[in-house]
Structure 1
Amino acid sequence: MKLSITYSLLCKLLILQYLSAQCLSAQDFDFFYFIQQWPGAYCDSNQSCCYPITPILPAEFNIYGLRPTKNDGSTPLNCDIHSVFDKSKISDLIENLELNWPSLRCPQLKSIKLWSHEWMKHGTCSESKLTQHDYFQTALKLKKKLNIIQILENAGIEPDDKFYDTSSILDAIQQATGFLPGIVCNRDPGLKSQLLKVYMCVDTSGSNFIECPGVPMGSCGDTVQFSKFWVNLFC
């Protein structure tokens, strides 16, 4: 009987050690993908989107995510189930987050739920480097540092529903930042390829853009449409 209990305790201890090792391993990462999204393409492809009526959001790229990533392209997820999202820890950032990292989903999803999801799924995997406050503040600083709409407009690429060479978009961002971005496109209801997301790689401190080990180029042809900015406020 004692042998059975001892064996059972030993098994539980080994399982706990294994899970602990897995958690620590999952928090190792090599860089961040900092991802911004063009709302015009999101709204066009989904046929509906919901922006909060207040504050009135500017016609620019929104933050889509800040995601710890490994050099092999894998993304650790949900690294700390005990780290609960705490709104009070980012109270000084909320106004800025509402402008720059809003939820676009319909029916309208409160942005606080989006931020909670992003922290639990991705942010917890950066806890060895960034606190919860640091994680969101880092994303905001990166967006301020990387004004994609301004970079593209300076290169004569505007959100006017016209088609632009994909290479021109990549070149404009590379010339402005010194690093090649990745872009992901979607298809509108007419199956036109539209610029949707821009990926940049950032070092593990979240401070500096770096060259990507590999950049996403999802569903983009030789030319892509830069769709007009519009939002459906009637949700």
Structure 2
Amino acid sequence: MKTYRQIWEAPKPFRSDKWDHYLDLYDRYLLPYRDGRPITYLEIGVQGGGSLCAAREYFGPEAGIFGIDTDPGSRAVEEAGIANRVFTGTQGDFDFLNEVIAEIGTPDIIIDDGSHQQGDMVTTFLGLFPVLADNGLYIVEDTHTVHYPSHQDTTLGINVYDYFKGLTDKMMADFMHQNRHRARFREHPDAREGRLDRRNPIGTAIGGLHFHDSMIVVEKTPYREAWRRNA
């Protein structure tokens, strides 16, 4: 079975560019989804189509491979029969994104390699992470654009790192309930009454939040209250 790097470096009918260290990170995070199930893969920013080519070979013929791009010419990879569908639109248009999800179903993997504008990276995550499959994967590429004056556009007043670094403590929202963890969290979760309030629906759905050079990776995990077990 070829690695992502081997697939990327082999000749392909369509080409795109990636930073070299991404190739090994892809293998690290995408490998668990390469188990024969028909996953749904959505990439924002198709460019020349090379990444959708690689995804098709990596995940196989049963996978649903979809792309989004502002350039109608990117549909060539769909017309060649490699991608199931390439949608033309902007990632900042929530109505458009909702139409995409309605057509492709629940994505297992979402990769944002789109505009790289600060606001787009954050708002697209806010719109798509909630519809990502449980145990799904969300990757934001080229986050080094936080340093580019040309990529500072945002209506939120924050950049991509302001937002994602701010999520780290939201993953532990259960512990905002002072003293309750001393008794409640020692009980088996199935034996507890009621539910905790004030949970951040995005933060508590994050099983892992990873920062790499120019890349942020978010693993989605079904929420389960904290449980402090005794040996």
Question: Which bin holds the TM-score, normalised by the shorter protein?
Answer: under 0.3
The TM-score with structure 1 as length reference comes to 0.26
Instruction: Compare CA radii of gyration and give the structure with the larger one.
Output: 1
